[in-house]
Every structure is written in structure tokens, then in C-alpha cells.
Amino acid sequence: MLIGLMVIGAGLATGFALKSFNENLMYFFSTTDVVEGKAPKDTLFRLGGMVIKGSVERPNDGLMVRFKLTDFSKDVTVEYTGILPDLFREGQGIVAHGKLNAQGVFIAEEVLAKHDENYMPPEVKGSLKNQSAPVAGQ
């Protein structure tokens, strides 16, 4: 009886866990994936790449910041409203969580930069390596 209850309970818990697990998986895409339309619309995903030098702008001196990310093959424009992490810099690799809007602009909910200036997020490093283009300006 007791064992039965426990098994049912554990089963239910596992079921719920797996369900919310599936709902909350976030996939990583490179900028090339996004430009080629491989990334989903209206679903949260993670986008990584290098912030293009000179691309960071703040229209109207407001909280909204716009910049371009690249994997040295294709670029994606990112918009983020809020305070950027300390180590967000042009020329550095970052990862952003967010969704694509209808215009193909990535609306970020969160921007992550690692606390080490030489650091490159592993996903970004991987997606940069996959591009045959030489890493210009590095």
C-alpha cells in the first residue's frame, strides 16, 4: 500500500518534471542559423556570437540598445532594453536569450557575458569554428 503510493507519487512527479523539462529546453542557434531561417519564430532560444565593433548604438539615449552579432559569416541585429552586463563589449562573444520578431530582429530578454575578458562562451566558440571564413581582425 505504502510502496504503491510512493510509486504513484514518484511517477507523477517524474511525469510533471519531464513535461516542464520539455517545455523549458532552450536551444542554441548561431547567427547563420537565424539568417538561414533555421531558428524558430515565437519561441525562446539562445543566440550567440561576437558583438561587431562599432555596431552598438542607443537610439534616443534611452535604455534600449541595439547591436549586431556575427559568427563571421552572417549578422543578426539584436535589441535589448535594460542594463547590459559589466563585460559586454564590442568585439566580445556573448549569449542572449530571446525571441525573433517579424522583422528578423532578435529581441533579447537577457544578455550574458562572462566575467573574464578573454572568455568566449563554448557555444560561440563552436559556432565560430564551424565557419570556414577566417577570423578577421583577431
Partner 1 sequence: MIAELGHFSLILALCMAVVLGLLPIIGASRSISGWVAVARPAAFGQLLFMAVSFGCLTYGFLTHDFSIAYVAKNSNTALPVLYLVSGVWGAHEGSLLLWALILSCWTGLVALFSRNIPDITLARVLGVMGLVSIGFILFLLLTSNPFERLFPAPLEGRDLNPLLQDPGLAIHPPMLYMGYVGFSVAFAFAIAALLEGRLDAAWARWSRPWTNIAWMFLTIGIALGSWWAYYELGWGGWWFWDPVENASFMPWLIGTALIHSLAATEKRGVFKTWTVLLAIFAFSLSLLGTFLVRSGVLTSVHAFASDPARGLFILVFLAVVVGGSLLLYAIRAPYVKSSATFELVSKESAILLNNVLLVVTASSILLGTLYPLVIDALGLGKISVGPPYFNAVFIPLMAPLAIAVGLGMLLRWKRDNINVIALRVRWIVLACVAVSLLIPLVMPFYSWGAVLGITLALWTVAITVMSFVDRMGPQGFSWQRLQTVPAGFYGMTVAHLGIAVFVIGITLTSVYSVEKDVRMAPDDKLDMSGYIFEFHGVKQTQGPNYVAEQAFVTVSYEGKQVAKLEPQKRVYQVQKMPMTEAAIDAGLFRDLFVAIGEPLGNQGAWSLRIYYKSFIRWIWLGALFMAAGGLIAACDRRYKITPVAPKGIKGDSTDRSPLQRTSEVPADA
| Site residues (vs partner 1, CB under 8 A) | 1-2, 6, 9-10, 13-14, 16-17, 20-21, 23-28, 44, 46, 58, 61-63, 81-84, 86-87, 95, 97, 114-117, 121-123, 126
Q: How many CB atoms lie within 10 A of CB 70?
A: 20
Query: In DSSP terms, which residues pair with 80 in a beta bridge?
Result: 65, 108
With respect to partner 1, which residue has the nearer C-beta, 44 or 105? 44
With respect to partner 1, which residue has the nearer C-beta, 123 or 136? 123
With respect to partner 1, which residue has the nearer C-beta, 16 or 104? 16
With respect to partner 1, which residue has the nearer C-beta, 62 or 134? 62
Rounded least distance, CB 105 to partner 1, Å: 20
Rounded least distance, CB 37 to partner 1, Å: 17
Rounded least distance, CB 74 to partner 1, Å: 18
Q: Report the distance separating Cα 11 and Cα 73, nearest Å.
A: 47
Quick check: 121 and 93 in contact, CB under 8 A? yes
**Burial track 94-133 (b if 16+ CB lie within 10 A, e otherwise):** bbbebbbeeeeebebeebebbeeeeebbebbeebbeebee
How long a stretch of residues is the chain? 138
